Amino acid sequence: MENFDELYYQRPYQKEFDAEVVSCEPCGEGYLIELTRTAFYPEGGGQPSDRGIFQLDGQADIKVGDVQKHGDRILHTADREITVGCQVHGVIDWQRRMDYTQAHSGEHIISGLIHNHFGYDNVGFHMSEESVTIDISGVLTWDELMEVERETNAVIRSNVPVEESFPEGGDLEKLDYRSKKELTGKVRIITIPGADTCACCGTHVMRTGEIGMVKCLSMIHYKKGVRIELVCGRKALLDYERKVDQNAEISHLLSAKPYETAEAVERVKEELTVANQKLNAWISRYFDGRIKELAKQEAFLIDFEEDIDRNSCRKFCDRLVKESMAPTCAVITAQVDEKGVYAYCICSSAVNLRNLTKTINSSLDGRGGGSPEMIQGSFHAEKDRIQEVLTEIFSA
């Protein structure tokens, strides 16, 4: 049962501490270290553990890469052995701790507001180095989520205190709070006035202003509800900086104003669609001419082209068979950007190509496959060798 008496609860903003080593056990390539006390937060409640270092007098820093709770014990995974009874000075990776703290508090606000406005529960919660995902039990529209996001950031700007309490007995039973599971023993309640009341064992900011901001990145349908991806605090600022930089580059490339890049991209897409239509028409005319130049074959026809795209290669090969240029046809095209590589497509109305794929690829250092009627891929072989092997296989 959690007693909430560790340093990461009692003094949540303490970055360094001193303690004595109680035990040191080998584990894999590291050691599991137990201390008399710790400010390192162990993984739990959807929040990853702290990382940092142990310092010993006259020795190099010892890395702490993970912290886990095992029953009543908190075990730190260290990269070196430490003698039991030694005094160590623990230093927490504070930026990592604050990133997760900002994210956890920000998630509470947005989940609490969704619950308050729509009655949906947060049924899944995951924090990674990049972002936070939350699974909500009902469906929201993007506009509804954006309204919740605006309200979340208003709560952050109001800089209200994040309250911690441990109600017991009847007081806890009367309290309306969020929890994913039935709780026993001592229950820690985190309250953000006007936004959320939730049972939680994670780390939190002292006041909402310390979160900075919350930004939702995406929302997809997931099971019977939605999965929301969001960033908080420093991570939200970094995300904003990256997107501003990218948008500025797009703005420059398209000669468009920063707030008009979407319209500029849409214009480019329309222009590209028209250009592709014209290109396909020219390719079709080119293939009309090639068919007139090629002689029909009784069993097998092979045609080498210079750097046509793989899609056109497939379409032309299919057309050769349908126009009865040969029962089996192969179109081979050299890839200008891949020296010594030929893209291939083989179509047939006479043989099962899937049964021959392994033989063809092994003979020509090829990669690819397909259906009984069509296979495609690439060869790493000389042109003459490709012609020799395929002619032997299909003209036999």
How far CA 134 is from CA of 112, 119, 127, 212, in Å, comes to 12, 15, 9, 19
User: Contact, 44 vs 202, CB < 8 A?
Assistant: yes
Cα separation, 205 vs 163, whole angstroms: 10
Residue with tokens 């259906």: 371
- Two structure tokens written together for 131: 């972002």
| Rounded Cα gap, residues 379 and 368, in angstroms | 9
Alpha carbon 31 to its chain centroid, in Å, reads 31
Task: Answer yes or no: are the C-beta atoms of 329 and 391 closer than 8 Å.
Answer: no
- Is 51 in a helix, a strand, or coil? coil
Residue 270: other Cβ atoms inside 10 A: 10
3-class DSSP assignment, residue 193: coil
- Residue in this structure with the two tokens 């020799």, named with its chain if needed: 388
What confidence score (pLDDT) does residue 266 get?
95
User: Are the C-beta atoms of 333 and 313 separated by less than 8 Å?
Assistant: yes
In the chain, which ranges are E strands? 16-27, 30-35, 52-55, 62-70, 73-78, 87-92, 122-127, 132-136, 163-165, 189-192, 196-199, 214-222, 225-232, 300-306, 328-334, 342-348, 366-370, 374-379
Q: Are 24 and 31 in contact (CB under 8 A)?
A: yes
73, two tokens? 């014990």
DSSP 207: B
Per-residue pLDDT of the chain (396 residues; tens, 9 = 90+): 567 889 999 999 999 999 999 999 999 889 999 999 999 999 998 899 999 999 998 889 999 999 999 988 999 999 999 999 999 999 999 999 999 999 999 999 999 999 999 999 999 999 999 999 999 999 999 999 999 999 999 999 999 999 999 998 888 888 889 887 777 778 999 999 999 999 999 999 999 999 999 999 999 999 999 999 999 999 999 999 999 999 999 999 999 999 999 999 999 999 999 999 999 999 999 999 999 999 999 999 999 998 788 899 999 999 999 999 999 999 999 876 666 789 999 999 999 999 999 999 999 999 999 999 999 999 999 999 999 999 999 987
What is the predicted pLDDT for the residue at 336?
60
Q: Give the pTM.
A: 0.78
HEC profile for 19-48? EEEEEEEEECCEEEEEECCCCCCCCECCEC
**What is the reported pLDDT for 121?**
95
Distances in whole angstroms, Cα of residue 177 to Cα of each of 126, 127, 174? 20, 22, 9
| Cβ proximity of 23 and 49 under 8 Å | no
Going across the sheet that includes 374-379, the strands are: 300-306, 328-334, 342-348, 374-379, 366-370
The reported pLDDT for the residue numbered 162 is 97
Helix then strand then coil, in percent of the chain rounded to 5, is 40, 30, 30
Residue 51 to residue 63: CA distance in whole angstroms: 8
Is residue 236 classed as helix, strand or coil in its secondary structure?
A: helix
pLDDT at 169 (0 to 100): 81
pLDDT at position 359 is: 94
Q: Which helix (H) or strand (E) holds 149?
A: helix 142-158
